[in-house]
Amino acid sequence: MSPRTARPRHYLMCRPAHFTVDYSINPWMDPAKPTDTDTALAQWDELYALFQRLGHTVELIDPLPGMPDMVFAANGATVVDGRVLGARFRYPERTAEGPAYADWFRDRGWQVRDPEQINEGEGDLLVAGDRILAGTGFRTETAAHAEAQSFLGREVVTLRLVDPRYYHLDTALAVLDDDEIMYHPPAFDAESRAVLERLYPDAVLADADAAKVFGLNAVSDGANVILPEAATGLAEQLRDRGFTPIGVDLTELLRAGGAVKCCTLELRR
């Protein structure tokens, strides 16, 4: 097995200063269950510090009042070769996040396109080498895939999600390296599973136990894979493939249906 090589990454994150669950737009959210903002902040701070210890650059966008899900920076845009495809959210509770993230990029000189179709950023548009794996079924419209392909200049592969618990692609699939992924097959329809089997015959397959603790909502730098610490079986599979899994505790953010990848938007120059 050839050694894995970590490549320095550039991320955008948002502190969960206003984190709470006061509405429900996915099966994980229950406003009747109390949340603890201080715990969310402490867990997020550990992830932020970990990325920096691993040698990655992390920039921050200011959290805005009234946007409790803004912590999930991955949903804010898709960034490829210096071009930023902004996000357009399905639910009104998150609509204001799209312009907030777009303004951050514009203020720093990035080339930004305001989307015409509903897309929820890297929640559903995952860059894998020269292609973009694109989810649909619950949030991002299929029409947004063509828009992404045209603007970002990468082949887009459509994948349909069928389990509402895994409402974004990044809850059911993670990119490990340019040509390697891990995913939970039951989260996809039969046609999409066939596509994934053809493109990635040696993919890491995650079972239900790994999926339900959001083990696939992970971030890889090509060698280190940061994932929820409860996904112990998945971590063993990754270790067997030569990766270094690093478990983190983001259980408070999981109350809103997010974990490592949801908190992390990659900035690709």
**Residue ranges of domains in the chain:** 10-266
Residue 178 half-sphere exposure toward CB, CA atoms < 13 A? 6
Question: Within 13 Å and on the Cβ side, how many CA atoms surround 42?
Answer: 7
- List of residues 6+ apart from 141 with CB closer than 8 A: 117, 118, 119
Distance CA 215, CA 155 (A): 26
Distance CA 30, CA 16 (A): 18
Q: Is 194 exposed, middle or buried (0-12, 13-18, 19+ CB in 10 A)?
A: exposed
pLDDT for 99 equals 98
pLDDT at residue number 205: 98
CATH 3.40.190.10 fits 10-266, yes or no: no
Q: Tokens standing for 59?
A: 């920039």
Q: Is 89 exposed, middle or buried (0-12, 13-18, 19+ CB in 10 A)?
A: buried
Residue 39 to residue 60: CA distance in whole angstroms: 19
Burial of 223 (0-12, 13-18, 19+ CB in 10 A): middle
Return the ∠ at Cα 211 (arms to 140 and 129), rounded to 5°: 55
Burial class of residue 206, CB neighbours in 10 A (0-12, 13-18, 19+): buried
User: What length does the chain have?
Assistant: 269
- Alpha-carbon distance of 152 to 149, in angstroms, equals 5
Q: Which two tokens stand for residue 103?
A: 């303004």
∠ CA 122-125-129, nearest 5°, is: 105
Which residue reads 């805005």 in tokens?
Answer: 64
Q: What is the pLDDT of residue 3?
A: 84
Structure tokens at 198: 């053809």
* Spans of the chain, pLDDT less than 50: none
Indicate which residues carry an active-site annotation.
Answer: 168, 262
Supply the pTM of this predicted model: 0.97
